[in-house]
Amino acid sequence: MYDKLEKSRLTANHIKVITAAILGDLLEFFDFFLIGYVLAFIIVPWKLNYGQTSAVLLSAGIGAMLGAAFFGAVADRVGRRPIFIATVLCFSIATGFMYWTPEGNWIYLTFFRFFVGFGLGGLYSVDLPLVQEFVPSRHRGRISGIITSCVPIGTMLGSVLAAFLSQIVGWRGLFLIGLIPALLTLLIRAWVPESPRWLVSRGRYKEAENAILWAIGEKRRFNEKVEAGADAAVKVEVHEIDPKARFTDLFKYPRSLLVSWITNLGQQVAYYGFTLWGPTILTLVLNIPAAQAAKLFISVTLCGFVGRLFWSFCSDWLGRRISGLLIGIGGCTFTILAGLNYNTFYGSVSMIWVFMIIAYFFVDGGFAIVGPYGSEVWPRHLRATGMGSAYGFGGLGKIIGPIALAFFAGSSNIVSPKATIDAIVPAFTFMGAFALLTGITYLFGIETRKKSIEEIDAILQEGKGVA
């Protein structure tokens, strides 16, 4: 029934859906990380202590875990498009409300930061399934990866605006700028129809036909009425309506559950641990100011961005499982080498810095696989629910990583533990082990490369994700 969609080239309408998803991810992470720059302005005048700062920072992480699970489940019930819109409104309006934060009221900030994270987790759980259900399977891996590759641009946008506009608009003005993503909802309403696969699952066949015809460029508007006898080549076959998604149904697919949950957890433990402690380690080992360490870390993050793009294409070339395994092996190897060579120099070049750059190619680049694959391994009626649950479970990595680093450093500060020389090797080994765990776990999953959504569904239904 989806032959024309699968055989289609990437049309202008495909690009519209992809662009909307890219803008959504870019702008949500701009809003999400904006607080880091704002705290630099308020932490001293507000006299915030460690516990208060921790609450502000961690509230969004908790919100993201819950939002991913909640919105993912709702998206399988009411559709991808309305939840796409709802999540964008959630995080952008919550950011805008922080403009009116009463002076010194960190509880107000914490409350709305929770909803910024709640919307972020939800959007990440619905935009990839939406795009994947529109694009031909031969493009699905790299397009999904490219979407996740644009996330660092949002973070970079936050740093640029904070650097150049904060003196003009103040920290409150930065939050007001965070309202801009709400305008994206107008673009979504105009550009993005409901997923044809979801429409078929709910028995809305005529709307599904319209969405397919629009996607392949044979209709100018996706909300046109379908005339009787319209293009039989794309007419959808009548199928039994899928059951409504229930969270407990996830456990009927243990293989999908294991692979999506563990890869998300391992990826986030390694990434957030590495990113959190990286600049601090460079400051300690090289005995340089924090500002100079931050400049050195720019090359690390740029290599991560290149890694995301590279692995996006590799996922369609080598397959998800092999690419994921290589990422895990590479991330483990170079993260541990970075720790072991913390005091090694080649001339004047620090080898820990060199190995950190290479390691980030894998540790950050892995996001090009883990998110898209975490959606693909679930059947149609559980796709957003499954991805949301995996991203939510993986969010524990934001907590496990800092706690582990604090443990190795003997620090009570789990948000930004003070680095010690003795903690470097065990901490980097710990992060490397999680990277390797992630890579090995991919081998237990099914290969989704060049398989249509329907072929994946058939494999999953036949073996319930076990074989």
Regarding whether 120 and 264 lie in a shared domain, the answer is no
Is residue 152 located within the same domain as residue 39?
yes
Q: Are residues 129 and 213 in the same domain?
A: yes
Domain co-membership, 341 together with 395: yes
204 and 276 assigned to the same domain = no
Q: Are residue 258 and residue 198 in the same domain, yes or no?
A: no
Domain that holds residue 31: 3-224
The angle, 0 to 180 degrees and rounded to 10, between the axes of the packed helices 290-317 and 320-340 is 150
Q: Of the residues 207, 224, 241, which one is the last residue of a structural domain?
A: 224
Spell out where 344-425 has E strands: 345-346, 349-350
What is the domain count for the chain? 2
Say what the pLDDT of residue 459 is: 92
187 lies in some domain: yes
- 136 half-sphere exposure, CB direction, 13 A CA radius: 13
**Residues 219 and 253 placed together within one structural domain of the fold:** no
Domain end among 224, 259, 290: 224
If asked whether residues 261 and 182 sit together in one domain, one would say: no
The CATH number that applies at residue 166 is: 1.20.1250.20
Whole-number pLDDT of residue 407: 77
261 and 216 within one domain: no
Q: What is the pLDDT of residues 148-176, one digit of tens each?
A: 998 888 877 887 888 788 888 999 999 99
Q: Is residue 232 part of a domain?
A: no
Domain co-membership, 214 together with 268: no
> How far is the C-alpha of 271 from the C-alpha of 401, rounded, in Å?
8
Going 188 to 234 to 376 to 68, the CA torsion angle's sign is positive
Contact present, 380 and 457 (Cβ < 8 Å):
yes
pLDDT digits (tens, 9 = 90+) for 287-340: 888 778 878 888 998 999 999 999 999 999 999 999 999 999 999 999 999 999
Residue 235 within a domain: no
Q: Is residue 165 part of a domain?
A: yes
Residues 35 and 143 in one domain: yes
Q: Is residue 306 part of a domain?
A: yes
Stated length of the chain: 467
d(CA 374, CA 384): 9
Amino acid 230: pLDDT: 47
d(CA 11, CA 18): 11
* CA pair distance 228, 90, nearest whole angstrom: 39
52 within domain boundaries: yes
Residue 101 falls within a domain, yes or no? yes
Cβ-based neighbours of 458, under 8 Å, separated by 6 or more: none
Round to whole Å and give the CA distance between 156 and 136.
31
Cα 320 from Cα 439, distance rounded (Å):
10
Residue 244 located in a structural domain: no
Residue 244: φ, ψ to 5°:
-65, 140
The reply to whether 332 and 406 lie within a common domain is yes
Per-residue pLDDT reduced to its tens digit, 224-282: 555 544 444 455 555 555 667 788 999 999 999 999 999 999 999 999 888 777 887 88
**What residue spans of 79-150 are helical by DSSP H?**
80-97, 106-132, 137-149
Q: pTM here?
A: 0.85
